[in-house]
Amino acid sequence: MQLIDLNRTKDIGSSCLSAKIGSFNILFDSGISPKRSGYDALPAFDKLGTTVIDLILISHCHLDHIGSLPYIMKRQQQARVLITQASHIVLPRILNNCVTVMQLQRDEQGIKEYPLYTLADIEALEQHILPMQFGKSRVLRKDNDEITITFFEAGHVVGASSILVEHKHRSIFYTGDVLFRDLKILRGAKWPTRKVDTIITETTRGSTIRAKERSADSETERLIGTIRDTISRGGSVLIPAFAFGRMQEILKIISCARQKNKLQQTTPIFCSGLGYGLIEDFDFISKKLSGVNFRKRITKELKIKIFRGNNPTDIKKQIQEPSIFVLSSGMLVENTSAYNVASAIIDDHKNAICFVGFCDETTPGGELQKYSQGDSFLFKAQNYVAKIAAKFDKFDISGHADREEILKNILTMSPRAVVLVHGEEDSRNWFMDELIELSPSIQVFDMNPCEECLV
Ligand SMILES: [Zn+2]
Ligand SMILES: [Zn+2]
């Protein structure tokens, strides 16, 4: 099998892996980088040369996995897109929102090539989609060759899958992003219990050590405690969260805590637009498919309001009483509602900012975590320097599995080769060292951007 990682850098960027398996040309995911802009945010599609793509296998609907799908489909119109039923439901809303954001960035930041695709391009995707049920294989043929594809539950986010590709006597398992523990709104990953030849694995948490006393459950309790204490002292709480998945999970955590009287009952709760819109989709998915538990009555129970506001002065005026803001983006990317609220509340010691997921260190969220109370922090997009007075903290309730769990599950499948993708250099190194030590017969490949690799 020939592989090329089209993500331009060794990190969590625009996930896209090109694979030649028999006579099939396949892309695993087609993402966009949250850290870069313009054409630079796309995978290095130019490396495909004249390759005609047959199949695009989508693991899940986070933008780092689907953000460039309409762009590549416009140029590879023969390709078929395989995606789970739940991902198929949320895909248009997430991509349409991406177009809106790109249009804003074109106007505000002068990125001329934005939007990279249109609403019509997203609509045109529909005719290429082959929806997949978990555990139900699909056989695809080309010339005299055939390939079998099966999607498995990957936890992580609604609709997320790990994908098994079988060709002749070979099997390749692409993990996508994976979480084994159950979330409040979603069942954890269910990987096949069989041997596979090659595993292509995410490595997001490879350099993250979970402190023994900080289980996901105890971290959830600590988050609830921080919210309760902040509101009690008259402050507001900002929880930056990905609009798709994380935001709904946090709302469910708040709802459960309120039912147990662990949180104040009447604190106003604000969400941002995309996350709120997705509540409708999650409700539909919960009714139709198993494994998802999120109904839209939560908006009434929690009296959720949609947040609107840009600059710190206006937002400060809007905050009339202690409130909870569950807003995107999770990494406080510039000009998002979470970024704007952070700039408005950070200079008051009564407030708190609670990070609940991975923050790339080059994003404002990642940068902020290197600072301490008393330091000054520049909100570049607003040309505004704020003195940090608010409490800020990280809660380890990540949507990604701990590195040890992924390693254990990889070894259970006795692969001949493991390919490392979707992680920083340090994170990949941890997996590389552990795999070599625990099972020296496994060949480990650390993919370099845009370099061909024969596995
Ligand atoms: Zn993801
Ligand atoms: Zn990802």
CATH number, domain with residue 229:
3.40.50.10890
Q: How far is the CA of 381 from the centre of ligand 1 (A)?
A: 26
Q: How far is the CA of 260 from the centre of ligand 1 (A)?
A: 30
What is the model's pLDDT at position 401?
96
pTM of the full structure: 0.95
Q: How far is the CA of 389 from the centre of ligand 2 (A)?
A: 32
Same domain for 331 and 239 = yes
Q: How far is the CA of 123 from the centre of ligand 2 (A)?
A: 24
Domain boundary among 374, 394, 414: 394
422 alpha carbon, closest ligand? 2
Same domain for 135 and 115 = yes
CATH number, domain with residue 7:
3.60.15.10
DSSP 321: S
- Work out the mean pLDDT of the chain and round it to a whole number: 96
pLDDT tens track for 122-148: 999 999 999 999 999 999 999 999 999
160 alpha carbon, closest ligand? 1
Same domain for 234 and 121 = no
Q: How far is the CA of 291 from the centre of ligand 1 (A)?
A: 18
pLDDT tens track for 227-264: 999 999 999 999 999 999 999 999 999 999 999 999 99
What is the model's pLDDT at position 310?
83
Q: How do strand 161-167 and strand 170-174 relate by DSSP bridges?
A: antiparallel
Joined tokens for residue 238: 């900002």
Q: How far is the CA of 264 from the centre of ligand 1 (A)?
A: 31
Q: How far is the CA of 288 from the centre of ligand 2 (A)?
A: 26
Q: How far is the CA of 162 from the centre of ligand 2 (A)?
A: 12
Same domain for 227 and 122 = no
Same domain for 374 and 441 = no
Q: How far is the CA of 347 from the centre of ligand 2 (A)?
A: 32
Q: How far is the CA of 267 from the centre of ligand 2 (A)?
A: 32
Q: How far is the CA of 69 from the centre of ligand 2 (A)?
A: 15
Same domain for 361 and 273 = yes
What is the model's pLDDT at position 335?
87
Q: Does residue 176 have a pLDDT over 90? A: yes
Joined tokens for residue 297: 């009555």
Same domain for 450 and 384 = no
pLDDT tens track for 337-383: 999 999 999 999 999 999 998 888 889 999 999 999 999 999 999 99
What is the model's pLDDT at position 273?
85
Q: Does residue 108 have a pLDDT over 90? A: no
d(CA 32, CA 114): 13
pLDDT tens track for 322-338: 999 999 999 998 889 99
In the three-class reduction of DSSP (H, G, I as helix; E, B as strand; rest coil), residue 248 is classed as helix
Q: Which of 430, 180, 177 is nearest to 444 (CA)?
A: 430
What is the model's pLDDT at position 454?
95
**For the chain, what is the domain count?**
2
Per-residue burial over 152-189, b if 16 or more Cβ lie within 10 Å, else e, is bbbbbbbbbbbbbbbbeeebbbbbbbbbbbebebbebb
In the three-class reduction of DSSP (H, G, I as helix; E, B as strand; rest coil), residue 398 is classed as coil
Averaged pLDDT, 397-408: 96
Confidence of residue 207 (pLDDT cuts 50, 70, 90): very high
What is the model's pLDDT at position 157?
98
- Supply the range of the domain harboring residue 82: 2-208+399-454
Same domain for 63 and 146 = yes
29 alpha carbon, closest ligand? 2
Same domain for 159 and 11 = yes
117 Cβ contact list (under 8 Å, min separation 6): 70, 71, 74, 99
245 alpha carbon, closest ligand? 1
Same domain for 147 and 33 = yes
Q: How far is the CA of 373 from the centre of ligand 2 (A)?
A: 31
Handedness of CA 331, 336, 341, 342 (dihedral sign): positive
Domain boundary among 394, 409, 427: 394
* Cα–Cα separations (whole angstroms), residue 432 to 3, 8, 420, 442: 18, 21, 8, 10
28 alpha carbon, closest ligand? 2
What is the model's pLDDT at position 235?
98
Q: Which of 193, 163, 256, 207 is nearest to 398 (CA)?
A: 207
Q: How far is the CA of 155 from the centre of ligand 2 (A)?
A: 13
11 alpha carbon, closest ligand? 2
Q: How far is the CA of 155 from the centre of ligand 1 (A)?
A: 10
Q: How far is the CA of 156 from the centre of ligand 1 (A)?
A: 7
DSSP assignment string, 95-122: HHHHHHHHHHHHHHH--TT-SSS-HHHH
Domain boundary among 394, 412, 438: 394
DSSP 134: B
Q: How far is the CA of 179 from the centre of ligand 1 (A)?
A: 10
Same domain for 29 and 7 = yes
Q: Which of 34, 30, 18 is nearest to 73 (CA)?
A: 30
What is the model's pLDDT at position 169?
94
pLDDT tens track for 271-302: 998 999 999 999 999 999 999 999 999 999 99
Q: Does residue 318 have a pLDDT over 90? A: no
What is the model's pLDDT at position 362?
87
